[in-house]
């Protein structure tokens, strides 16, 4: 199975700042990486797929980059609603696997 | 809009089985995959498998072979997951999710908490 390693596990930032979250795969997954947002009381949201593609509804302050084994989620100019847990997921092969999550907290 | 409404909290005994549901609306149930995902307390997300309701095809994570059985009822646009031979390790929140391609989960249900305890 492809192991997905996210870092950091916790990240504190202030509204208006920019942050980056890393996701590393144990082998090449081409560009097949998705990012999800988890918030209490709201269903999980798909933010990015195929490494850098934003589905409709994802604000443009979110961006994804990377290929092969190294990927990054960047959030520019944090809004209050962005403080949440973020997961990466490889969608290159089965079984689909997720990172362990990054909790983004307000500083 | 797409909605995936999951059934309620379950408290079940060890060695028993449980069947949880996910009622879909707002999209073509038979033309999308339905994934199931496990989240144990303090742990991340684990993919269990998917079912394609259009033809009943399933694909499982080998880790859940024999543990989870996925079915779907086209007449009610509802997906089901049965978990068998339950142990405390099966205590978790279980999510369903819609996927147009079998790989990326576009929409998620709210999750069902399953607690296995005597």
Walk along chain B (118 residues) and give the pLDDT tens digit of each residue.
Answer: 999 999 999 999 999 999 999 999 999 999 999 999 999 988 889 999 999 999 999 999 999 999 999 999 999 999 999 999 999 999 999 999 999 999 999 999 999 999 999 9
- Cα separation, B49 vs B110, whole angstroms: 18
Cβ separation of B107 and A46 shorter than 8 Å? yes
What does the CA dihedral A56, A60, A61, A62 come to, rounded to 10 degrees?
50
Shortest CA gap A59–chain B (Å): 16
Task: Write out residues 17-46 of B within 8 Å (CB-CB) of A.
Answer: 35, 43-46
Burial A19-38 (b: 16+ CB within 10 A, else e): bebbbbbeeebebbbbbbbb
Q: Is A56 on the interface with B (CB under 8 A)?
A: no
Q: Dihedral of CA B15/B37/B112/B21: which sign? A: negative
Q: Which residue of B has its CA nearest to A6?
A: B44
Spell out which residues of chain B touch residue A49, defining contact as CB-CB under 8 Å: 104
Nearest to A49 among B63, B104, B110 (CB): B104
| Residue % of chain A over a pLDDT of 90 | 100
Q: Where are the beta strands (DSSP E) in chain B?
A: 3-6, 10-12, 18-25, 33-39, 45-52, 57-60, 68-73, 78-83, 92-99, 107-108, 112-116
Dig out the tokens for A38 from the structure: 């988890």
Contact B62 A95 (CB under 8 A): yes
Which residue in chain A is spatially nearest to B109 when comparing CA positions? A43
Residues of chain B contacting residue A39, judged by C-beta atoms under 8 Å apart: none
* pLDDT at site B42: 80
């Amino acid at each position: 199975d492809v192991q997905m390693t996210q870092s950091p596990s916790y990240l504190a930032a202030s509204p208006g700042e920019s942050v980056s979250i890393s996701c590393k795969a144990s082998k090449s997954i081409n560009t097949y990486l998705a990012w999800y947002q988890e918030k209490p009381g709201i269903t999980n949201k798909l933010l990015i797929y195929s490494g850098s593609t934003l589905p409709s509804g994802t604000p443009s302050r979110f961006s994804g980059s990377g290929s092969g084994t190294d990927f990054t989620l960047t959030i520019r100019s944090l809004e209050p609603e962005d403080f949440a847990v973020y997961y990466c997921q490889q969608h290159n092969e089965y079984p689909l696997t997720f990172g362990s999550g990054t909790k983004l907290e307000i500083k | 809009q797409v909605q995936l409404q999951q059934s309620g909290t379950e408290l079940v005994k060890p060695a028993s089985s449980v069947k949880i549901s996910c009622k879909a609306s707002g999209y073509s149930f038979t033309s999308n995959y339905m994934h199931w995902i496990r989240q144990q307390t303090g742990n991340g997300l684990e993919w269990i498998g998917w079912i394609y309701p259009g033809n009943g095809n399933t694909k499982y994570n080998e880790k859940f072979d024999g543990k989870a059985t996925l079915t779907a009822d086209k007449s009610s646009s509802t997906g089901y997951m049965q978990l068998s031979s339950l142990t405390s390790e099966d205590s978790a929140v279980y999510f369903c999710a819609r996927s147009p391609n079998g790989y990326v989960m576009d929409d998620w249900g709210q999750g069902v908490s399953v607690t296995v305890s005597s």
